[in-house]
Structure 1
């Protein structure tokens, strides 16, 4: 498989968005957040492009202004606020950084690397924002324009930085012996802060396996939607089963009838004295409607109802015995018991945990509804 890191990151955030964007190739307008980030990335490249005289703050501001696209914003007020924020980010960057202090090796460096076993190789591509030569090694830097800054722990385990480091090592293989002298960093432009970490050979190996595990999910065509704060910026809401009911104008079941049912269901669910028979009837009708319309959530005047699927698993007892007996743990769960297995699960070797997960089989699926009041 050929995959870019950004596509894999999309899958990690929402598998269904990956399907719409990469497989179905459904185009959406570029969001104002993406445009804002692109202009700042271009400005950072302009600031650090090696030349005899580095750009002054005024020249960087002029470049930013000339690259600006006001058309993507919803109002003149929103556009002005975003522009002012961009100006402040550049000014603060110059206060904290002198472009002449850095020894730039490469900017927006494109890469392609192979990962996986010899008989099942995958090609991963991407762009590294910046590579610096430091006093005793190198630093790989990725700019971020996100509003929130993560913890140091996130940087220690960030898959993107690990992939970028692997790409760097494919270009400079002799540096594999100097991993302790290579920093990987996320520079958060809005906060004016850089969080850095390093990687061991073992961490890189674990990262590659995590990457391969994600690719396997893609190959198995597992494209479930994932609700998160990122949904607010997603261009696929009108076709997503978690959101499309919000945009629907015509339905096979009468609109007023189902909206009335949705409202009544939410009110009954909240009532002190619930008419259980009516609630069950409403739930059955609403679930039937959701399946008819292929939606996972419906929107009423007084709240949102989401369909939940409860999956009960059981384990293949013979397989579990085969896994646990060599570890002298089978006696701890005799007679086989899910609670006993759960109690010893965390102390088992990683490989044993993976094999136990594979031994799970679906026992029963039950649909229900989750209510979120407006």
Structure 2
């Protein structure tokens, strides 16, 4: 039964070759997850109206198809997140499985590892803000408390990843406590803004706001260039909620657990990151100005890939978001299989279009 991909058919004969009435097996009722109380394997037809096996099975049958409303284009604003947008742009059918049907997925070791590291980093920054940074033992304790032993290939694999996480956090803490290290202004701060008639929501991992006595010509020029960009690059509504303190340099950081060891690759990842561009637009919607830079901090290696906020990248990001929103609104879930995306797709075992080997 667990090997069925598209459908499972259970059949039953009402009579034996000799003409004797046959009883439906109680295992059929159990397989369909129906109540078995009072069931004694009645022969067909049922002698009790509405309580026989056929009636019980029929009562549990799903509706013949989705309601008409679910087949029509979505009307009204969408609420989008980076993960939903990324799912749709990668493969619309993956988006449907995860965001619409909500097919359950088994935990993957990379997600367990990343979530535990993020929790530890978040708690460290919060302790920094209180003026009492976590000790190494406390930091490792937060990491281990957030750990789950699900999804790993073996016990040895789990222990290796656990030790890798401890090492990454020790190096991270040492770097953050160096003289002159910046204490983040925002940690895990939620945001939402309107873009193209839709609502984009998310959460900043980290935002650094560093006051400048006198802004450098380089920073001033970069800010002026972005500020002078066409309004098409902006969020629909810019509602500054925070008063700028004066000349300041703003950097938004997203923490990653990918094993990136080449600085050039780290920088390219930052330049290509749709998530970082969404952060830049969100920050502008909240404050009235764009950040000066966005960056990816790879915790395993300590590498930081940094990118300036540029109008061309913002325009490209807005276009990609609009493409995803248009397809989602039209309920277009046409699969877009590829060897790479299918290989890492959590739904590859049930997807009829998967090309994963």
Cα distance in 2, alignment partners of residues 241 and 214 from structure 1? 22
Q: Could you say what secondary structure the match of 1:137 adopts?
A: strand
State the secondary structure of the residue aligned to 1:72.
coil
Deviation at 1:189, TM superposition (A): 1.1
Q: Deviations over 1:227-286 (max 9, x none)?
A: 24454443212211244xxxxxxxxxxxxxxxxxxxxxxxxxxxxxxxxxxxxxxxxxxx
Question: Greater RCO between the two (CA within 8 Å, min separation 6)?
Answer: 2
Aligned-partner Cα distance in 1 for 2:258–2:269: 14
Could you tell me the TM-score, scaled by structure 1's length? 0.59
> 1:4 matched to which residue of 2?
81
Could you say which residue in structure 1 is the equivalent of 2:148? 69
TM-score, normalised via structure 2 length? 0.61
Q: Is the 8 A contact 1:73 1:79 kept in 2?
A: yes
From 143, 146, 165, give the equivalent of 1:86.
165
1:237 counterpart = 2:348? yes
Secondary structure (helix, strand or coil) at the match of 2:184 reads strand
State the distance in 1 between where 2:178 and 2:142 align.
15
More helix by share: 1
Q: Which of 190, 195, 219 matches 1:115? A: 195
Does the alignment pair 1:128 with 2:173? no
Q: 1:131 to 1:228 in 2, by over 3 A?
A: farther
Shift of 1:202: 4.8
Higher strand share: 1
Tell me what 1:138 maps to. Answer: 250
How many residue pairs end up in the alignment? 237
Equivalent residue in structure 2 for 1:204, among 300, 314, 320: 314
- Number of the residue aligned with 2:296: 186
Between the aligned partners of 2:91 and 2:162, the Cα distance in structure 1 is 30
Matched, 1:159 2:274: yes
Q: Where does residue 248 of structure 1 map in the other structure?
A: none
CA contact (8 A) 1:103 1:134 kept: no
The 1:71/1:23 distance shift into structure 2, 3 A limit, reads closer
Cα distance in 2 for partners of 1:191, 1:96 equals 12
Deviations 1:174-198 (A, max 9, x none): x24xx5xx21001111121011111
In the alignment, is the contact (CA less than 8 A) between 1:139 and 1:184 conserved in 2? yes
Runs of 4+ in 1 over 6 A off after TM superposition: none
Q: Could you tell me how far 1:14 is from its partner in structure 2?
A: 2.5
Deviation at 1:60, TM superposition (A): 0.7
Partner of 1:26 in structure 2? 103
CA deviation vs aligned residue, 1:2-45 (integer Å, no higher than 9, x gap) = 11111111222232211100111111122121111100011110
The answer on whether the counterparts of 2:204 and 2:254 sit within 8 Å (CA) in structure 1 is yes
Relative distance call for 1:64 and 1:154 in structure 2 (3 A) is: closer
Root mean square deviation of aligned Cα = 2.2
What does 1:1-374 align with in structure 2 at a 5 Å threshold?
A: 1-49=78-126, 50-98=129-177, 101-116=181-196, 121-135=197-211, 136-148=248-260, 150-173=265-288, 175-176=289-290, 179=291, 182-220=292-330, 221-243=332-354
